[in-house]
Every structure is written in C-alpha cells, then in structure tokens.
C-alpha cells in the first residue's frame, strides 16, 4: 500500500485505467490472435484481441476526443501560439470563468520568448505551466516535470497546517527531528506569522503552481495554499512565529527547508485510505452495525478489475442480501473517469430514469457551443435497488465523474453528503490534447456539462463558487484533528456513520 506522489496523485487515478488496459489487452492477445489499435489520449499502439472485452467505449468516443495535435516540431513561440489559438476557441468555460485569453497569451509569450532566446527549457516549461494554472479548472492538465517540481517544493519545514473552524491556523503535523520540531514546535501549535507576515496574509498570497491539478474553487485553492505554503526549495529559510497549545508565550525561529520525500503532502488528514496499482478502484466491506462501505477511487477498469460495473453490482447485491441498514459511499479523492460508468453505478439508487448530464461542444460551423445528442447520458434504474439510507463522503479532491456521482445522489430521499469541504468544481468533458516541444503534453476540457435547462453543472464560476457542497459540513476543530492523529483512525468516516445512524430506521 502506498500514497501516490502528490504531483500525479489525482492524474494517476484518472488515467490508471488507460495504462492498465494495455496490460489486460496484451495478455488476452497472446491467446486469441489480434490486430492493433491506438489507445486514445496516448501514443500507444496495442494488440486488440478477437475475444469479447469490457466496454471501453468512453476512451474512443469522438465527441469527447478532439484529437491529439502534435506541435512538437515547431519552435517554442510558434507552438505556443498555435496551442493558444486552439484552446481559446474550444475551451468551454471562457465567459463562465471570466478567462482573459489576451492577457494570458501576452504574459506567456513574453516569458516563452525570453526562454527561447536563452535556450532555457526550464523557463519554457514554467511559462506553459503558469498559463495552464492561470485557468481555474481541474481538467486543465500539463505533464509533470519532477525535477522542476522538486527544485520548487522539494523542501519541507517539517510541518503541515490546517485552518480551523475558529479561524486559527495550526500545525496538524510536526515531523520528528525536522526543522519545526527542533525549533520547539509541538503538534497543535498555532501559527501566528510566516516570513514576517500574519499567517492569513501569507496564505492568501501562496502560489498553487505546484498543486496536483489547478484548483477550481476558492475553497479548493485555499486547501492547496495551506499544503504548499510550508514547502519550498531545499535550503530556503522561513521565519515562523508560533504558540504551542496551552502556552501563552510565542516563539520565533528561522527554519531551513529540508528534504522530507514529500511526507507532509502524502499524509492528508482526512483521507487516510490508499490504493496500490494492483488493487481494485472499488473497495467494499461490511462495517459494524450492519452498515455497508464502498470506496471508489476512480471510474474505470484496472489490471485486476476489467469489469468495474460488475464489482459495483456485486457490492450492492451483498449489502442488499444482508439487509444492510445503510451505506457509506466514499468519494474522497475520487479522480474521475468514465461518466457512462458513473451513470451505471448510480442506477442502483434510482427507481426512475434520471439525467446524468447533457454536454455542449464547440461547433466550428456555427462558431458556438452546441448540445450534442451523442453526449446525452441518462441514469437508468438497475437491480437490485438500494433503498436503505446512504451517506456520501466528499472532499476538495473529488473531481469530474466523482462529482457527477455526488451531484445525482444529492437531494435524493435518505441521502446525505458529508465532508469538511465541497468537491473540486470541474465537471467538464475532457478530450483536448496537444503535444508541445520538449515533450510537454497539455490537456484541456472541450465540453460543458449541462442540466435539462441548459445550465452549467458543477463547474466553478468566475468568483470561485462551484462544486458540490456537503449537506453536512463537518467543522474542523483541534479536537477532531487530535482524534485523527492520536488514534490513527478515519475520523471523517466515523462522522459519516453518525449521520447514517440518524437517518437509518
């Protein structure tokens, strides 16, 4: 078991299905005879067996995939200009999010021009990454550069911080024999100042350039500002003023950033579950009190779970056969995936057809965004129907199809969404891919998810408001944090079970 490296944590969950498929298809081909095909969103040609295989149609739907444009043979400036021209036209949330393409292009062009003049590949990558991260959309992606990331945030001051319900910023993690601990900081210490500034001011200005994916909501941005403020280049120093719990005296110390192998980013306080690459993205079990529990890491197949819809059905059947009094559906950290598969999952919770979403894409002929009938997705009832109470756990890392699940379930009878924060706020249809010089790959959404009236679903707006808000927002207190780290248990799951007990018969 492991916690994924933070830079690729969400991306890896979403695309693990694609690369696991290579292995599944390859093994099948050895025993069946085959032809070859290219997996969408990749440059990988794989054997296609002449035997029935799982339905991977979501990977080949032309509505979602605009094609991969290769600009790698152009010079840096020309490639960026061509990329920008395409994205600025096809990006589906320009007005909704208030994206100023001219301003973004102007800044990036200057930086790329300087980088090309000095043949500075690092500066070139950073210019493109800043461009991508200037758009508050979790479906904007750029291939990672581990060396640059490590140079920027590979150092840790030995602490991780949380913002409590009462406004205080405290250290929820203080690594042993690390800079903060050596300076006398204890677990639960209140952070007063950071680099000579009040902690709230420092947080507000913290960069999110090295977040896993671009934060879409103001709430999600704040999460990543807390995660990244306390990281820096190895060797950089920061002056911190703090007050240990139960003490009146404030202490100040200059901390050096040291290599902690990203420990403060790996241990997320209220998402302790991990998943190995050989495990199923759907994990389920029966909890004490005859409550069911199911965790979905992403909506897609893997090496050992080529048919995730069957695994989901088996879990529901197990809960129904045992007359479970209720169920916790855990979508924390859900990286998204196949919307059609998400709709299949939802079928066990509805008795009549429900709209999952419509979608509108850019139509070159009319130069407008038009609804495509092929992208219409309905939730069709499935058996057995799960009628018992349901609690859905969400967080700011729940994105894309994970948000689709939460959206349809919210407001249904005997269903409550529980979390400390809302979801990511990025529910657009993915499918745009561009290859740039220096082996940089950029991806972007190409479609708007819409309700029956044509209103945009879930995606955050220009004010950073969006995502799915929990019905029951768990207040983050020092006692809750202490219970999490003292016991090592999943405290948020315990809170979900409390809610479930209240609505269960």
In this predicted structure, what is the pLDDT of residue 42? 35
Question: For residues 120, 121, 126 and 127, what is the CA-based torsion angle, rounded to 10 degrees?
Answer: 70
In this predicted structure, what is the pLDDT of residue 376? 97
pLDDT in tens, 94-127: 999 999 999 999 999 999 999 999 999 999 999 9
pLDDT band for position 273 (cuts 50, 70, 90): low
pLDDT in tens, 447-499: 999 999 999 999 999 999 999 999 999 999 999 999 888 777 888 999 999 99
Q: 404: which residues sit within 8 A by CB, 6+ positions away?
A: 339, 342, 343, 356, 357, 427, 449, 458
In this predicted structure, what is the pLDDT of residue 43? 36
Among 38, 39, 2, CA closest to 300: 39
Domains of the chain, CATH where assigned: 282-503 (3.90.226.10)
Task: Name residue 70's beta-bridge partners.
Answer: 435
Q: What is the mean pLDDT of the chain?
A: 88
- Cβ–Cβ under 8 Å, residues 196 and 208: no
In this predicted structure, what is the pLDDT of residue 489? 80
Percent of the chain with pLDDT over 90: 80
pLDDT in tens, 82-95: 999 999 999 999 99
pLDDT in tens, 49-84: 332 333 333 333 444 455 678 999 999 999 999 999
Please state, in angstroms and rounded to a whole number, the distance separating the CA atoms of residues 70 and 410: 41
The helix (run of H) or strand (run of E) holding residue 202 is: helix 199-204
Residue 307 has a CB neighbour count (10 Å cut-off) of 13
In this predicted structure, what is the pLDDT of residue 53? 31
Residue 306 clears pLDDT 70, i.e. is over it: yes
In this predicted structure, what is the pLDDT of residue 484? 83
Please state, in angstroms and rounded to a whole number, the distance separating the CA atoms of residues 79 and 71: 5
Phi, psi (degrees; rounded to nearest 5) at 188: 85, 0
pTM: 0.87
**Sign (positive/negative) of CA torsion 76, 82, 85, 87?**
negative
Please state, in angstroms and rounded to a whole number, the distance separating the CA atoms of residues 41 and 246: 54
Residue 400 clears pLDDT 90, i.e. is over it: yes
Per-residue 3-state assignment (H helix, E strand, C coil) for 402-428 = HHHHHHHHCCCCCEEEEECCCCCCCCC
In this predicted structure, what is the pLDDT of residue 68? 77
> Using the 8-state DSSP alphabet, how is residue 349 labeled?
G
pLDDT in tens, 37-51: 333 333 333 333 332
The helix (run of H) or strand (run of E) holding residue 345 is: helix 339-346
In this predicted structure, what is the pLDDT of residue 21? 45
Beta strands 429-436 and 354-363 are: unpaired
In this predicted structure, what is the pLDDT of residue 272? 56
Among 28, 4, 5, CA closest to 303: 28
- Cβ–Cβ under 8 Å, residues 192 and 241: yes
Token pair belonging to 164: 């409590």
Higher pLDDT, 432 or 486: 432
pLDDT in tens, 227-239: 999 999 999 999 9
DSSP string, 299-321: BS-BTTBS-HHHHHHHHHHHHHH
pLDDT in tens, 185-211: 999 999 999 999 999 999 999 999 999
| C-alpha distances in Å from residue 81, one per residue of 105, 113, 175, 318, 419 | 8, 11, 45, 55, 42
Average pLDDT (5-23) is 44
Please state, in angstroms and rounded to a whole number, the distance separating the CA atoms of residues 432 and 66: 5
Please report how the helices 121-133 and 101-117 are oriented relative to each other, as an axis angle in degrees rounded to 10.
Answer: 170
Residue 391 clears pLDDT 60, i.e. is over it: yes
In this predicted structure, what is the pLDDT of residue 487? 76
Q: 272-281, 392-401, 493-502: which has the minimum mean pLDDT?
A: 272-281
In this predicted structure, what is the pLDDT of residue 147? 97
CA–chain centroid gap for 281, Å, is: 15
Among 357, 410, 389, 351, CA closest to 502: 389
Please state, in angstroms and rounded to a whole number, the distance separating the CA atoms of residues 111 and 134: 14
């Amino acid at each position: 078991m492991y916690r994924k490296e933070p830079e690729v944590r969400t991306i890896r969950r979403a695309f693990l299905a694609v690369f696991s498929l290579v292995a599944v298809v390859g093994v099948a081909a050895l025993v069946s005879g085959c032809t070859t095909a290219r997996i969408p969103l990749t440059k990988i040609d794989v054997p296609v067996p002449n035997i029935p295989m799982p339905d991977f149609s979501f990977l080949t739907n032309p509505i979602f995939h605009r094609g991969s444009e290769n600009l790698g043979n152009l010079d840096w400036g020309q490639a960026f200009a061509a990329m920008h021209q395409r994205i600025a036209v096809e990006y589906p949330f320009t007005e909704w999010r208030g994206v100023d393409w001219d301003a973004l292009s102007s800044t990036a062009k200057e930086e790329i021009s300087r980088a090309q003049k000095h043949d500075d590949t690092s500066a070139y990558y950073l210019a493109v990454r800043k461009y991508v991260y200037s758009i508050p959309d979790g479906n904007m992606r750029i291939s990672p550069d581990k060396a640059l990331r490590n140079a920027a945030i590979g150092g840790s001051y030995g602490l991780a911080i949380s913002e409590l319900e009462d406004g205080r910023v405290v250290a929820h993690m203080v690594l042993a024999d690390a800079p903060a601990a050596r300076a006398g900081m204890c677990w639960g210490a209140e952070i007063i100042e950071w680099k000579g500034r009040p902690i709230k001011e420092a947080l507000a200005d913290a960069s999110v350039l090295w977040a896993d994916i671009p934060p879409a909501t103001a709430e999600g941005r704040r999460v990543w500002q807390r995660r990244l403020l306390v990281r820096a280049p190895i060797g950089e120093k920061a002056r911190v003023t703090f007050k240990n719990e139960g003490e009146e005296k404030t202490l100040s110390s200059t901390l050096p950033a040291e290599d902690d192998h990203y420990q403060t980013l790996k241990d997320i306080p209220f998402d302790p579950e991990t998943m190995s690459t050989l495990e199923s993205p759907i994990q389920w079990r029966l909890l004490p009190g005859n409550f069911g529990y199911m965790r979905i890491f992403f909506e897609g197949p893997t090496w050992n779970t080529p048919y995730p819809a069957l695994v989901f059905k088996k879990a529901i059947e197990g809960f129904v056969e045992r007359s479970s009094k209720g169920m916790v559906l855990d979508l924390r950290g859900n990286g998204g995936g196949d919307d059609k598969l998400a709709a299949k999952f939802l079928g066990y919770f509805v008795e009549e057809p429900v709209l999952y979403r419509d979608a509108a894409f850019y139509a070159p002929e009319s130069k407008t965004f038009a609804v495509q009938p092929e992208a219409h997705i309905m939730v069709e009832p499935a058996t057995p129907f799960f009628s018992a109470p349901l609690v859905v756990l969400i967080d700011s890392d729940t994105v894309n199809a994970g948000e689709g699940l939460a959206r349809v379930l919210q407001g249904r009878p005997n269903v409550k969404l529980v979390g400390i924060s809302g979801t990511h706020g990025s529910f657009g249809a993915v499918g745009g891919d561009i290859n740039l010089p220096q082996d940089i790959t950029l991806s972007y959404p190409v479609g708007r998810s819409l309700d029956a009236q044509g209103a945009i679903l879930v995606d955050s707006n220009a004010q950073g408001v969006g995502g799915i808000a929990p019905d029951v927002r768990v207040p983050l207190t020092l006692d809750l944090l202490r219970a999490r780290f003292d016991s090592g248990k999943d405290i948020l799951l315990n809170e979900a079970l409390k809610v479930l007990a209240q609505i269960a018969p």
